[in-house]
Structure 1
Amino acid sequence: MLPDMLDISTLKAGYAAGTVTPLDVIEEVIRRLHAGTDPAVWISRFADDDLRAAARALMAEGGREARPLWGIPFAVKDNIDVKGLATTAACPAFAYAPQRDAATVARLKAAGALVIGKTNLDQFATGLNGTRSPYGAPRSVFNPDYVSGGSSSGSAVAVASGQVAFALGTDTAGSGRVPAAFNNLVGVKPTKGLVPNTGLVPACRSIDCISVLGATAGDATLVRQIMQGEDEGDVYSRAAAPRSLPLAGFRFGVLSGKERVFAGDTEAEALYDAAAARLTALGGTMVAINYAPFRDCASLLYGGPWVAERLAAVQTFFDAHAADIDATVRTIIEGARQFSAVDAFCGAYALEAYRKATDAEWAKMDVLLLPTAPRITTVAEMRADPIGLNAMLGRYTNFVNLLDCCAVAVPSGFRADGLPVGVTLVAPAFCDDDLAVLADRLHRAAATGLGHDRAAAIPEQARLAPSREGLVPLVVVGAHLTGMPLNPELTRAGGVLLKACRTTPDYQLYALPGTLPPKPGLIRTPGFSGPGLEVEVWGLPPAAFGAFVAAIPAPLGIGKISLDDGTSASGFLCEAHAVAQAEDITAFGGWRAWRARGAA
């Protein structure tokens, strides 16, 4: 018996145990496809017998252990090429037959995944609501009166209803995150260029991202990691350059004052605050930030010259077939004609000004916690005000690609009427892996179930663990401890808190006079027996470690420090002559206790 939600971890466990086969899964997928109550989810799919044949061929090939997505069924948004199915971008007159799979699809198939078909979307991926398609408007799996979110509308509903284990979407302005929020899913929007766009019908080519919708952060992250990597067909693709986030003692930015806009949905506001409380319980420190520069930057995407990129993507077709395009989409794309080359440069200048302004806010935080959308709307409301309400949905999403950030949307809970509410964690570029770990922890703490199944538990096998590979450990004892004045030097350099512990008893600590900010000096004294001193071990990328060590001022230096767990690592030590006139504060057990005594 397969679960209501076809998450990757559960299917892989069934395959490993021999209790289910890919053919069994495909038969169940076919049954669910025929029983589906939302006819607007799929634009096209492979015939039932073709799906069965693909499952049988996979089983004959074997190789389950070496293929991380072996036998996992997935859907593809219909602006991404799949050989054997037309690509329409939800515009029948635009349809073409691709000669090869998109780079992402090819990589997933090589990992053993099984393509089921192509899903509906807001036409040309222009919209965040899911109602702009001649193939119909998919609905939230929790109430058919409400929008599914878009533009990756069909992809979200296909996953949330249990028809596939994951789906590819795209996310230029929030098109993967908003439908995740409205269907109790996780939506992963990678760093721009990390996942190649070869074989994607572009919306805004310079900032488009192929996204993943999944039941869990672990599932969606696994898919993203398999897809990522440069491809020669996409000039905007980039090699991974991983950056670390602190996963303990992290600072997270929150909305405050007049920037807390929920369009009248007080329950969504309360669930946003609940997510902030969970992050605090998970080791974070809440920081109020000024959201205004992020909001103003977001307005460039639809109110500035970036709209011209939407016309550039389909100009030849648009000029010949404007009447074949959805009226709202046509109005938006046609608006590009008002912008000149001068406007494009002025927009670029404005973006850099917003980047500088938001850099000042990033200095206060490691991650940003936002509502994914202010509120969900009914289909009727959206059709009555298609541009105004769509803009409302993008209030907290539109800036992310313009400012080169990564993001993960996770569920936060349900309103009293049973409709889901989501939040999004945002971080600077290339923090994808550690951001996913925080997202996984936040999702688990919310206990919202999986997709349409509110009672389901997140599988333990899908739990994400932080990657520490390649980090150089550094022992800090004073002003670089979590919460101390110089700790941002570590976090800005990509440092990650690995553990808190104590030194062995043969160390003494002194308060160095005349240092600003105040700093201690750590001295090893063979034969001395003290309490052992409170320290933290941070991991730094090798390049950052080298630069950090080179900048350490005398009389401090780096040497090996022995820890009470039997390990040792490089850390801050002091030259003996510098403590001759310094106060011995060893008895306090650490710098933090000494500073607390001073404050008292």
Structure 2
Amino acid sequence: MPVSTLSEWVTHYRQQPQQLVAAYQQLDADLSRDDNAWIYIASHDEIYAQLTTIFQAINSGEKQASDFALLGVPFAAKDNIDVAGMPTSAGCPAFTYQPGKDATVIARLKAAGAIVVGKTNLDQFATGLVGTRSPFGAVKNTFNPEYVSGGSSSGSASVVARGLVCFSLGTDTAGSGRVPAGFNNLVGLKPTKGWISTTGVVPACRLNDCVSVFALTVEDAETVVAVAGGYDPQDPYSRTNPQTAPARFSEKPRFAVPDTLEFFGDSQSQVAFVKTLGRLQQQGVELVSIDFSAFNQLAEQLYNGAWVAERTVAIGDIFKNQPEAMDPTVRGIVANGLNYTACDAWQAEYTRAELAQKINDQLREFDALLVPTSPTIHTLAEMAQHPVRYNSQFGTYTNFTNLADLCALALPGDFRNDGLPAGITLIAPAWHDQALSHFGKSWQQALNLQLGATGKTLSASNTAKASTNHVRVAVVGAHLREMPLNHQLTTRNAVFIEETRTADHYRLYALANTQPPKPGLVRHAEGQPIAVELWDIPLARFGEFVAEIPAPLGIGTLVLENGASVKGFICEPQALLDATDITAWGGWKAWLARHHSA
């Protein structure tokens, strides 16, 4: 393929959309039907039908190429996600059916111009973190074929790591969107439950299933989720973003780390993780050890308690009527669900709620939890000897995430000495996805590893996109950092963005009789640039913030020296009659410093 990332692809083909046909002719030649990462590869006609929809919209004038956020971008879908006209097997040939319509997530991606090029292999019924429980064969690790790829979204990770598609969809119930990312040097974004619809997804555990995204870069994964996400009235577990979470981490991020880290004797994974911890500290991250017992207890609930009965319900008829058609290990796990009663299920929910509350209370003091994506990795031969034990080990730092209603971002980390990837994962409360991505982008830029197994490295970072879930506010006086009213921002999850200045047509005044002392900013033909700070405040908290602003101040629109417009403090003209003009000082802090020293 001529490009490796989504952003590069879109940039190139927006200028020359007619070249998409040639690009897909080359892609068709690159994809092998003998590659068991694929269960189904789209035919030439299926690809061209999707491209035709885009060309018709552009040629008719209904849309321009720039209207398609994912113009012609090739992607793959895990074969438990419905794509109209392509079979869905969930890794079980006897279960296979032909869906009549796209899953909601597929429909949204197609509407943005993305092209489904095939369905990928998986641990049967998404039950496993290994990538070996499939009648279509075990998907091999992209760095060493003797090792597992991770699962259950094994094929989805493999095709992205090798640069065959720009991104892929997986599902993540217990870590299936993160472990394969860690084992294949990828980004794996597991969004907040309910953000991406699961309508048209074969369920594993409906209460905990998430559609996840594999990509070579955090920027690409973030872009895909922004397109694919949103409330779906057809999905009873779909949710609307409350728009209360911060846009990014603190200026000096504070990460929780388990007080006792378990690597199951794998010294290479341990050394790689310790090296990554050192890198983070060098970048100014504060690492704090926390009691991890509640996380471990909740993780054990997913497979060693009544929650496993959710899988029994999800698989349903084929388990009852054709058990011999199932992978033996998967069948054994699903059969365990029959050992629990309704009373056990309710007790399991009470236990989940108690532990989830404790976990979220613990994380409230931190920007995120930092863990190894997996504490270890095994060869295909080793996995055959102990399929359940080693699978359980892989889920040590993933199984609790959805039960506790957390979001997660798996990131590339320092490699092991044997050349295998050893990723890390950041986990945060629900709807903190954007903050995770913001940090992930800077981390990936600083680490500067190859992207997946492509041999290519990250290009220069693009300008950050404006957030639709936040309001950017310019503060000029008592709300500045270290000023007495700054808490009105920080207690509402507002985060500092940068120091900058207004355009050159403003004047600044020290207002009389205000407590604490406050300035007034007014637009004036004979002005100068005034120092301000930019803060992003969650949209749902903006009204609360504005309600606390007393007369004669208010919120209006300010123009910055770079020409951008943001919300900011303005002042009623009558308040300037007995105010002191301090424009010459260039800002409130400068005036205060000189005023106090005078």
TM-score range, shorter chain: 0.7 to 0.9
| CA distance 1:550–1:47, change in 2 (3 Å) | closer
Amino acid at match of 2:492: A
Amino acid at match of 2:379: T
Displacement of 1:213: 0.7
Q: Pick from 256, 259, 262 the counterpart of residue 257 of structure 1.
A: 259
SS at match of 1:213: strand
Aligned length: 559
Displacement of 1:285: 3.0
Q: Which moved more, 1:205-214 or 1:267-276?
A: 267-276
Asked if structure 1 preserves the Cα contact closer than 8 Å seen for 2:259 and 2:289, the reply is: no
Asked if structure 2 preserves the Cα contact closer than 8 Å seen for 1:7 and 1:215, the reply is: yes
Asked if structure 1 preserves the Cα contact closer than 8 Å seen for 2:249 and 2:367, the reply is: no
2:114, 2:6 → 1: CA distance?
10
| CA distance 1:590–1:435, change in 2 (3 Å) | farther
Q: Pick from 4, 11, 14 the counterpart of residue 13 of structure 1.
A: 11
Displacement of 1:86: 1.3
The residue aligned with 1:398 is 399
Asked if structure 2 preserves the Cα contact closer than 8 Å seen for 1:478 and 1:591, the reply is: no
1:195, 1:335 → 2: CA distance?
29
Superposed counterparts of 1:545-560, under 5 Å: 545-547=542-544
The residue aligned with 1:541 is 538
Displacement of 1:451: 1.2
The residue aligned with 2:381 is 380
The residue aligned with 2:23 is 25
Find out whether 1:46 has 2:31 as its counterpart.
no
The residue aligned with 1:514 is none
The residue aligned with 1:359 is 360
Asked if structure 2 preserves the Cα contact closer than 8 Å seen for 1:473 and 1:569, the reply is: yes
2:452, 2:50 → 1: CA distance?
26
SS at match of 1:356: helix
| Residues 446-465 of structure 1: CA deviation (Å, up to 9, x unaligned) | 111111123x2223365644
2:364, 2:487 → 1: CA distance?
8
The residue aligned with 2:96 is 95
1:524, 1:60 → 2: CA distance?
56
Asked if structure 1 preserves the Cα contact closer than 8 Å seen for 2:185 and 2:412, the reply is: yes
The residue aligned with 2:246 is 244
The residue aligned with 1:584 is none
Superposed counterparts of 1:56-205, under 5 Å: 58-59=54-55, 61-62=57-58, 63-205=64-206
1:356, 1:550 → 2: CA distance?
31
Superposed counterparts of 1:409-558, under 5 Å: 409-454=410-455, 456-460=456-460, 464-465=464-465, 467=467, 470-471=470-471, 473=473, 475=475, 481=481, 490-491=489-490, 493-500=492-499, 521-522=516-517, 537-541=534-538, 543-547=540-544
1:296, 1:489 → 2: CA distance?
37
| CA distance 1:588–1:154, change in 2 (3 Å) | closer
Displacement of 1:543: 4.4
2:445, 2:172 → 1: CA distance?
24
Gaps of 5+ in 1: 509-519, 527-532, 572-586, 593-600
2:210, 2:376 → 1: CA distance?
24
Asked if structure 1 preserves the Cα contact closer than 8 Å seen for 2:259 and 2:290, the reply is: no
Asked if structure 1 preserves the Cα contact closer than 8 Å seen for 2:271 and 2:416, the reply is: no
2:375, 2:552 → 1: CA distance?
50
1:46, 1:302 → 2: CA distance?
35
Asked if structure 2 preserves the Cα contact closer than 8 Å seen for 1:22 and 1:72, the reply is: no
Q: Which moved more, 1:130-139 or 1:279-288?
A: 279-288
Amino acid at match of 1:249: E
With normalisation by structure 2, the TM-score equals: 0.83
Q: Which moved more, 1:167-176 or 1:25-34?
A: 25-34
Displacement of 1:100: 0.9
1:268, 1:466 → 2: CA distance?
37
With normalisation by structure 1, the TM-score equals: 0.82
1:135, 1:469 → 2: CA distance?
42
Displacement of 1:57: 5.9
SS at match of 1:157: helix
Displacement of 1:375: 1.7
2:429, 2:189 → 1: CA distance?
14
The residue aligned with 1:228 is 229
Displacement of 1:478: 8.5
| CA distance 1:265–1:480, change in 2 (3 Å) | farther
Displacement of 1:265: 3.1
| Residues 181-221 of structure 1: CA deviation (Å, up to 9, x unaligned) | 11111111111011111110000001101111111111111
| CA distance 1:159–1:339, change in 2 (3 Å) | same
| Residues 425-481 of structure 1: CA deviation (Å, up to 9, x unaligned) | 212111222321211111121111111123x22233656446276426374988994
Amino acid at match of 2:362: E
| CA distance 1:275–1:83, change in 2 (3 Å) | same
SS at match of 1:402: coil
1:485, 1:402 → 2: CA distance?
40
SS at match of 2:369: strand
1:19, 1:80 → 2: CA distance?
28
1:204, 1:114 → 2: CA distance?
28
2:444, 2:251 → 1: CA distance?
19
2:489, 2:539 → 1: CA distance?
13
Q: Which moved more, 1:296-305 or 1:351-360?
A: 351-360
SS at match of 1:540: strand
Displacement of 1:129: 0.7
Percent identity of paired positions between Structure 1 and Structure 2: 40
Displacement of 1:157: 0.5
| CA distance 1:393–1:460, change in 2 (3 Å) | same
Asked if structure 1 preserves the Cα contact closer than 8 Å seen for 2:193 and 2:407, the reply is: yes
SS at match of 2:31: helix
Asked if structure 2 preserves the Cα contact closer than 8 Å seen for 1:410 and 1:422, the reply is: yes
2:270, 2:417 → 1: CA distance?
13
| Residues 214-245 of structure 1: CA deviation (Å, up to 9, x unaligned) | 11111111111111122232111112233224
| CA distance 1:559–1:61, change in 2 (3 Å) | closer
Asked if structure 2 preserves the Cα contact closer than 8 Å seen for 1:77 and 1:168, the reply is: yes
Amino acid at match of 1:499: E
2:435, 2:55 → 1: CA distance?
34
| CA distance 1:391–1:491, change in 2 (3 Å) | farther
The residue aligned with 2:574 is none
SS at match of 1:203: coil
The residue aligned with 2:339 is 338
1:330, 1:430 → 2: CA distance?
34
2:199, 2:185 → 1: CA distance?
29
Superposed counterparts of 1:261-272, under 5 Å: 261-272=262-273
1:356, 1:349 → 2: CA distance?
11
Q: Which moved more, 1:171-180 or 1:56-65?
A: 56-65
The residue aligned with 1:597 is none
The residue aligned with 1:313 is 314
1:523, 1:493 → 2: CA distance?
21
Displacement of 1:254: 3.3
Displacement of 1:310: 0.5
SS at match of 2:387: coil
| Residues 97-118 of structure 1: CA deviation (Å, up to 9, x unaligned) | 1111111111111211111111
1:134, 1:422 → 2: CA distance?
28
Asked if structure 1 preserves the Cα contact closer than 8 Å seen for 2:272 and 2:422, the reply is: yes
